[in-house]
Amino acid sequence: MHLVGVEHYENFPVASWLCPPRIREAVMALYHFARTADDIADEGPQGPEARLADLRAYRQALVLTLQGQPQETDLRWRGVFTRLHQAHLRHQWPTQPLLDLLDAFEQDIPNPTYPDRSALLDYCSRSANPVGKLLMHLQGVRDDRLLSMSDQICTALQLINFWQDISVDNTRGRIYVTRCDANTHGLPWPPFQTGFDQNRARALVADLCHWARQTMEAGARLPLELGGRMGLELRLVVQGGLRVLERIENMDHQTFLRRPVLSGWDAAPVLWRALAMGIPGRTTG
C-alpha cells in the first residue's frame, strides 16, 4: 500500500495538503532520506556486500549531516542530506530513530528469516516505528502514551504490507512469516512452496491479518487525540491500512497467489470511515 505519492518507500505517511505546512518540507526531507536508503538496500545490480558498504557510507553521511557538515557527505547523496540538514536546523531531529532506520535496511540485505513474532516485532521497531517517532517529534509530541500508539500504527502498517506482499516477496526470496506461525498452521518451512496446503495457508494469512488488525486498533485513537490536519491525515492512514486488510479478506486471504491493491473505488469508504472515527462506536470502522 503506497502511503506516499511516490512509489519506493511504502511505510511512510503522505506529505499531502493535509500535512501542516510548517512541517511539510521536513516530512519530505525525511521521506527522501528513507527512500534513498531503501533504494540502496533493495535495488540495482550490486551484490549484498556492495550494498552493505554503500549503506555504511550513507550512515556516515547521516552522522556528518547531524554534526552540521552536509557539504562533507558523499556526492551521490548530497542533495538528500542538504535537505535533511535544513530540516534538522529547524526541528532538531532525534538521532536514534534515523540510525534505527538504517539498521533495519542493513538487516534486510541478506534476506533474514524470523523465528517468532517477537523477532519480527523487533525488526518493525527499527524499520517502521522510527518514522512515527520522527513525525511525532515534528508535531511536538513527547507523551509516552501517544508515542506508544504511534508505534502500534507503524508496526501495523508494516505487518499489513508484509501480508499484502507475500506473493511478491516469495519471488525475491523474502520471508516475513515466522517459523513459529508456519509451524502452528502445519505448513512446512519455508512456507508457500510448491504443493503446500492452500487451506492451511489461507488460515495462516487470516491469523496474521488478525494480528495486524489488533495492532492497528491498539493505536487507532492517536489521530483523534492529535486532532487537526495531522490527525485527519493519520485517520486516512489508519483506514487505508484497514481497507487493505479488508481486501485481503475479500480474496479469501490468498495473498500467496497475488497481491491485492487499493483503487480509486476505495477512496470513498476510506474517507467516510476516517471521518466516522470521531463518532462513538466507530473508532476503527
pLDDT at residue number 18: 63
What is the C-alpha separation between 76 and 218, in angstroms, rounded? 40
Question: Cβ-count burial of 217 within 10 angstroms (0-12 exposed, 13-18 middle, 19+ buried)?
Answer: middle
CA distance 118 to 191: 19
How many residues are present in the chain?
285
Q: Round to whole Å and give the CA distance between 18 and 240.
A: 15
What is residue 128's predicted lDDT score, i.e. its pLDDT? 94
| Residue in the structure block whose three cell numbers are 506508544 | 148
Other CB atoms within 10 A of residue 282 CB: 12
CB 152 within 8 A of CB 219: yes
pLDDT tens digits, residue range 200-243?
A: 999 999 999 999 999 999 999 999 999 888 898 899 999 999 99
Q: What is the mean pLDDT of the chain?
A: 89
Q: If you average pLDDT over residues 69-78, what whole number do you get?
A: 92
Specify the pTM.
0.91
Q: What is the pLDDT of residue 167?
A: 96
Domains of the chain (ranges; CATH) run 1-110 (no CATH), 113-285 (1.10.600.10)
Closest CA to 38 of 7, 66, 60: 7
Which has the closest alpha carbon to 6: 32, 24, 26? 32
pLDDT tens digits for 111-164? 999 999 999 999 999 999 999 999 999 999 999 999 999 999 999 999 999 999
> Is residue 4 over pLDDT 60?
no
